[in-house]
Amino acid sequence: MHPAQVEQVRRFNRLVTQRVGALDESYLRRGRPLGEARLLFETGAKGADLRGLRDKLGLDSGYLSRLLRSLQSQGLIQVRQQRQDGRRRRVRLTAKGRAELAAYDELSDALARSVLAPLGQAERGRLLAAMAEVERLLEAGAIEIAVAAPASADARWCLERYFTELAERFETGFDPAKSNPAADDDLTPPAGCFVIARLNGRPIGCGALKLRTKRIGEVKRMWTAPEARGRGVARRVLERLETEARRLGLKTLRLETNRALKEAQALYRKQGYKEVAPFNDEPYAHHWFEKRL
Amino acid sequence: MHPAQVEQVRRFNRLVTQRVGALDESYLRRGRPLGEARLLFETGAKGADLRGLRDKLGLDSGYLSRLLRSLQSQGLIQVRQQRQDGRRRRVRLTAKGRAELAAYDELSDALARSVLAPLGQAERGRLLAAMAEVERLLEAGAIEIAVAAPASADARWCLERYFTELAERFETGFDPAKSNPAADDDLTPPAGCFVIARLNGRPIGCGALKLRTKRIGEVKRMWTAPEARGRGVARRVLERLETEARRLGLKTLRLETNRALKEAQALYRKQGYKEVAPFNDEPYAHHWFEKRL
DNA sequence: GCGATTCTCTGACCAAAGTCAGAGAATCAT
DNA sequence: ATGATTCTCTGACTTTGGTCAGAGAATCGC
């Protein structure tokens, strides 16, 4: 990683903690200790149960208890036993509490507006676009790639969306029955494997590996959810499949793809796959690729 | 301001305080109270005097004194009287203190690298570009526009760079002596005014207003430092000049510009200036504009 | 030289944030 | 039914961060 790149990230961190963080701490508390303000905010209009609040804010139970007592004595919240489980308790905002929350919301809005205020229309658009981009790419850090059973609910969900998308994008439509099959068993160790990418626990992409011989494997079912594209999900899934392939002792990976899937082809080429002559009769394929591991 | 824009800024603030801010607070302190860590960091390899530290970190003198005592007892710093002024004191890092500072530096680097690690080359480039853009545009909030004397050091500095740039960009070069003059007196109230844009106290742009008659003014000397472009500096300078013009009772503003200055022309048009027939014989001008206030 | 000012230090406070060890009530597992 | 577990509360305690009022030394303005 280039030092100048690291320096840019550090500069960004510095600026942003100064400009955003500092304001957050001083402006956004309305004369209340930060702990209470955060608690009020996290409780929200819908209320919450204590257990959830403790986990989310990482508070000691004793500390939370005292914070709640304080907010209660200010008339902002009510704490009540839950019906189903008498040990648990729920917090709910009173009318006064909701008014207070609305005030926080308004402050937060004002803060956001103050960022946009000195800018002209064009610059605002650029700032917002850049913020969205930073957001998307920072989120990539929270993406996890994991091996999963192809019969699991998450895998099914991915495959369903994958097939739906193929049907929409292929000129000829797509019928899984006519395509070369890849049964669950073929995608389960030791015959192969299935990999899922998750963002905050929700599946956003997948990929699979199927052994053809002891030395040759096939990559299949590569898919990224449209809302998660542009974050390198597919690349990371593919890299993970290659790692698994090496672990299984494979020497060569093959894959085929449809001409409608331009991004996929670009990815394969960038990752070192070379186009080769057709090695199977997959009816939906137009391009065949191969990579020596 | 559109609610969706405000929401985007708020989402960004939330994400960034979580991902950057939280790490900053927990990772980056090496088991030391935040106050001590900040102090160590601010002291830096070169050392600093107490007065400066208090101003920069906004600390109470008693509090600072105690923090220093603590760092001193850990063997990280030395505090010594200054020669010139016996009241003042300087802090310097010991060898151990410098090692500690280097460790902080390394941590900070590691943090930055962890942001880039999950990304591929192309995405890294996009993230860094977006970060730089956010940085530039957030900085716009710190830009201040102020009226100043055209003879002041800051004004002279701007004008010098302005003339140098004109000489480079005009096909014919530029000689101030051949251009229509605007003496200091003409740009000083009540005959006109001179406006400077500053970022963190350093001049980054300027503009001037010169009265032609009681109702007609001329905008002159519009310039933005190259390193500060794309943040709406010129627009804000121009808006300020228009405000001053209205205060002086002017009804019409005029300006002329050279064909090499494309961005300037785009700005004038966007701010409501209409191209008109030449109203003077400025030898370097190709376009003449006018706006009714 | 002298009073005003500047700079740092000390001691006495304070609030916020957080930790720890029980205790009491409710629920779960068997 | 009962012992283990879960959830919350209470009281005692600590650390961090910070304020305030003075005191003492050095320097400045004249």
pLDDT value of position B150: 94
Identify which has the larger pLDDT, A84 or A69.
A69
Predicted confidence band at A89 (pLDDT cuts at 50, 70, 90)? very high
A196: phi then psi, degrees, rounded to nearest 5: -120, 140
The pair of three-digit structure tokens given for residue A113, joined into one six-digit string: 């507006």
Q: Which residue of A has its CA nearest to B233?
A: A119
The answer to whether residues B198 and B181 touch, using CB atoms and an 8 Å cutoff, is no
Q: pLDDT at residue A27 above 80? A: no
State chain A's mean pLDDT as an integer.
Answer: 92
- Residues B179 and B169: their CA atoms lie apart, in Å, by 15
* Residue B177, C-beta contacts closer than 8 angstroms, at least 6 positions apart: none
pLDDT score for B241: 97
Highest mean pLDDT among B20-29, B166-175, B246-255 belongs to: B246-255
Q: Report CA(B60)–C1'(D22) in Å, whole number.
A: 15
What average pLDDT does range B213-220 have in this prediction?
94
Dmax over Cα atoms in chain A, in whole Å? 76
Q: Phi/psi zone of residue A44: left (φ > 0), alpha (ψ -120 to 50 degrees), beta?
A: left
Domains and CATH numbers, chain B: 3-118 (1.10.10.10), 143-292 (3.40.630.30)
Q: Which of residues 87-106 of B touch strand D (CB under 7 A)?
A: 87
Q: Please identify which residue in the block is written with the tokens 């199977």.
A: A280
For residue range A214-256, list pLDDT tens digits in order: 999 999 999 999 999 989 999 999 999 999 999 999 999 999 9
**Does B85 score more than 90 pLDDT?**
no
* Res A29: pLDDT: 80
Are B9 and A137 inside 8 Å of each other by CB?
Answer: no
Does residue A61 reach within 7 angstroms of strand D, measured from its CB? yes
Residue B145 has pLDDT above 80, yes or no: yes
Give the pair of three-digit tokens for residue B196.
């400077």
Is residue A206 within 8 Å of A196, Cβ to Cβ? yes
Q: What is the pLDDT of residues A147-200, one digit of tens each?
A: 999 999 999 999 999 999 999 999 888 988 888 878 888 999 888 999 999 998
pLDDT band at A15 (very low <50, low <70, confident <90, very high): confident
Q: From CA B170, how far away is CA B176, in angstroms rounded?
A: 12
* Residue in this structure with the two tokens 């917090």, named with its chain if needed: A91
Q: Which residues contact A192 (CB under 8 A, 6 or more apart)?
A: A182, A186, A208, A209, A210, A211, A217
Q: How far is the CA of B183 from the C1' of D29 (A)?
A: 40
Mean pLDDT score, B116-123: 90
pLDDT recorded at residue A178: 86
Q: B64 CA to D20 C1', in Å?
A: 14
- In the block, tokens 């013009």 appear at B245
Q: Is A202 exposed, middle or buried (0-12, 13-18, 19+ CB in 10 A)?
A: exposed
Per-residue confidence band for A14, with pLDDT thresholds at 50, 70 and 90: confident
CA proximity to A217, closest of A177, A189, A176: A189
* Predicted local distance difference test score (pLDDT) of residue B18: 79
Dihedral (Cα; A149, A154, A155, A161), 10-degree rounding: 180
Phi, psi of A180 (to 5 degrees): -60, 135
> What pLDDT shows up at residue A207?
97
Put simply, the answer to whether A24 touches B12 (Cβ < 8 Å) is no
The residue of B2, B7, B13, B119 whose CB has the most chain A CBs within 10 angstroms, and thus the best one to mutate to test that interface, is: B13
User: In this structure, what token pair is assigned to residue B39?
Assistant: 């102090």
Decide if B97 contacts A97 (C-beta within 8 A).
Answer: no
- The label of the residue with tokens 């100043």 reads B148
Query: In this predicted structure, what is the pLDDT of residue A86?
Result: 84
Q: Which residue is nearest to nucleotide D22 (CA to C1')?
A: B62
User: What's the confidence (pLDDT) of residue B82?
Assistant: 83
Under DSSP, the state recorded for A38 is: H
Query: Percent of chain B at pLDDT above 90?
Result: 76
Q: Prior bond to B3 cis, omega within 30? A: no
φ/ψ (deg, to 5) at A216: -120, 130
- B118 CB neighbours in chain A (<8 A) are 140-141, 143, 232, 236
* CB atoms closer than 10 angstroms to residue B203: 21
Interface test with A, best of B29, B119, B224 (most A CBs within 10 A): B119
pLDDT digit string, tens, across residues B237-289: 999 999 999 999 999 999 999 999 999 999 999 999 999 999 998 889 999 99
Dump pLDDT digits (tens) for A111-134.
Answer: 899 999 999 888 999 999 999 999
Minimum CA–C1' distance nucleotide for A66: D9
* Cα distance between residue B224 and residue B157, in whole Å: 12
Please tell me whether any atom of strand C lies within 7 Å of the Cβ of A60.
Answer: yes
Nucleotides of strand D lying closer than 7 angstroms to a protein CB: 6-12, 15-22, 24-28
- Nearest-Cα distance to chain A for B235, in Å, is 8
Identify the weakest region by mean pLDDT among A45-59, A171-185, B48-62, B158-172: A171-185
Contacting residues 66-125/A vs strand C (CB within 7 A): 84-87
Average pLDDT score over residue span B219-246: 95
The band of A78, judged by pLDDT with boundaries at 50, 70 and 90, is very high
